[in-house]
């Protein structure tokens, strides 16, 4: 990150969110996704003893970092690892690696008997409230008020060491499930930083108007990968064994095979998908998981990717927004005009003459 970059790296205490320092961050790579943790890597230069004293205040697992572009927060997460480097000329740098705030739930375990029932989004919020209720566990993630209309019931036992994030992901993965992420932004009234649990059923969608992207225009490059190795036309899931007879062979509970009959009728070959869910014993849940997995991977999996130039017209809240792509070139000679939902973002700050860009990962709507 050069001195004229529009980005600032703000380092804060994880629990209190009080600012520790604002430090230069070079060679930055940052990404964010719906449904999984994003990451940040970068290097802090340490040119002198005074800077070293400031950088030493960064503590892995205790320090958060925000990437601010202009007046907007584009990314926030927890620093989990750092590496101090000294080259053959004695130049010091500290390389940091961070992950979005969802990663905290992957490092916490349910350590009491717990049961929840009701709207599935209320259960997801209850799990976050439970992990933040323990002393030292409150990282300031605030709940929303979204509803889904889907009723669920789940239970967890003390001693199983169920990871909170895995519990939330299992709850979300069923048919008619939901998506989740933690968004960061500044409160428009107070300017305070906000970490908010964002939920959407069946999908997170934001914005009321399409983000229009053109090539030629703001789209610098694109790719449309089609991957039949990740897709299928049938799906079956396996769960835990439900055999109570120790004298008999133990076999896992299995779902009913789910079949994409319309694809088979259209001439697609039969390709089987399978997955294991060793903590699930209920067949209805396994059937729901199989339906969801087949719906997400029918035929060939396509996740288009475009690279755009970042300018003042591109908002910071991109995940869940609908983008309208208009492309005219040799392949799309008659012009492509299609709508996609943004499900992943990778930002590359401008440096060494390279423009400020973002890679957007899309799914068709």
**What does 99-136 look like in DSSP terms, one character per residue?**
EETHHHHTT-EE-S-EEEEEEHHHHHHHHHHHHHHSTT
Show which of 66, 100, 134 is a domain's final residue. 100
Tens-digit pLDDT profile for residues 274-318:
999 988 888 999 999 999 999 888 887 788 999 999 876 688 899
**Alpha carbon distances (Å) from 298 to 33, 232, 274, 344:** 21, 5, 13, 20
- CA dihedral (144, 149, 151, 155) in degrees, to 10, reads -10
Indicate if 220 and 196 belong to the same structural domain. Answer: no
pLDDT of residue 2: 41
Per-residue pLDDT reduced to its tens digit, 16-68: 999 999 999 998 999 999 999 999 999 999 999 999 999 999 999 999 999 99
Q: Which domain holds residue 277?
A: 229-242+252-296
Q: Are residues 213 and 360 in the same domain?
A: yes
The pLDDT score that the predictor gives to residue 156 is: 95
83 lies in a domain? yes
Total domains in the fold of the chain: 4
Same domain as 195, residue 83: no
Q: Which residue has the tokens 């809240």?
A: 317
Indicate whether 256 and 214 sit together in one domain. Answer: no
Check whether 323 has a pLDDT greater than 90.
yes
> Coil, strand, or helix at residue 50?
helix
Q: Is residue 36 part of a domain?
A: yes
CATH number at residue 181: 3.55.50
247 assigned to some structural domain? no
Residues 216 and 343 in one domain: yes
Give the domain CATH number at 47: 2.30.300.10
Q: Which of 100, 123, 140 is the last residue of a domain?
A: 100
Q: Do 180 and 31 share a structural domain? A: no
215 part of a folded domain: yes
- Choose among 231, 239, 279: nearest CA to 255: 239
Owner of token pair 């396994």: 286
214 and 359, same domain (yes or no): yes
Residue 2, in any domain of the structure: no
Task: Please identify which residue in the block is written with the tokens 């789940």.
Answer: 154
Residues 356, 258 share a domain: no
Residues 214, 346 share a domain: yes
Is the same domain home to 216 and 341? yes
Q: What would the pLDDT profile of 241-279 be if each residue is shown by its tens digit?
A: 876 666 667 788 899 999 999 999 999 999 999 999 988
> Do 48 and 195 fall within a single domain?
no
130 within some domain: yes
Residue 1 within a domain: no
3-state secondary structure (DSSP) of residue 180: strand
Residues 213 and 359 in one domain: yes
């Amino acid at each position: 990150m050069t001195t004229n970059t529009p980005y600032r790296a703000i380092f804060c205490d994880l629990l209190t969110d009080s600012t520790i320092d604002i430090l230069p961050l070079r060679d930055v790579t940052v990404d964010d996704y719906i449904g999984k943790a994003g990451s940040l890597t970068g290097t802090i230069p340490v040119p002198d003893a005074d800077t070293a004293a400031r950088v030493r205040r960064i503590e892995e697992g205790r320090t958060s970092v925000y990437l601010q572009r202009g007046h907007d927060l584009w990314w926030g997460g927890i620093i989990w690892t750092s590496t101090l480097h000294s080259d053959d000329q004695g130049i010091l740098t500290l390389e940091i690696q961070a992950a979005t705030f969802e990663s905290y739930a992957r490092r916490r375990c349910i350590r009491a008997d717990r049961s929840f029932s009701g709207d599935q989004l209320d259960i997801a919020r209850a799990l976050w409230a439970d992990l933040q209720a323990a002393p030292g566990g409150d990282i300031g993630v605030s709940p929303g008020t979204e509803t889904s209309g889907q009723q669920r019931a789940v239970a967890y036992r003390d001693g199983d060491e169920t990871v909170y994030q895995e519990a939330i992901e299992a709850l979300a993965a069923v048919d008619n499930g939901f998506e989740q992420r933690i968004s960061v932004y500044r409160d428009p009234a107070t300017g305070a930083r906000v970490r908010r649990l964002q939920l959407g059923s069946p999908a997170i969608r934001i914005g009321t108007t399409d983000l229009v992207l053109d090539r030629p225009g703001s789209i610098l490059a694109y790719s449309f990968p089609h991957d039949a190795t990740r897709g299928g036309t049938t799906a079956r899931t396996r769960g835990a064994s439900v055999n109570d007879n120790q004298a008999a062979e133990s076999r896992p509970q299995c779902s009913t095979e789910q079949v994409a009959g319309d694809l088979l009728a259209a001439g697609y070959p039969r390709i089987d998908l399978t997955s294991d869910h060793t903590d699930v014993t209920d067949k209805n849940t396994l059937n729901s998981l199989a339906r969801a997995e087949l719906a997400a991977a029918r035929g060939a999996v396509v996740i288009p990717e475009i690279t755009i130039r970042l300018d003042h017209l591109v908002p910071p809240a991109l995940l869940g927004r609908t983008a309208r792509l208009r492309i005219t070139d040799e392949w799309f000679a008659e012009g492509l005009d299609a709508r996609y939902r943004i499900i992943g973002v990778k930002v590359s700050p401008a440096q060494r003459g390279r423009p400020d860009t973002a890679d957007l990962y899309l799914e068709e709507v």
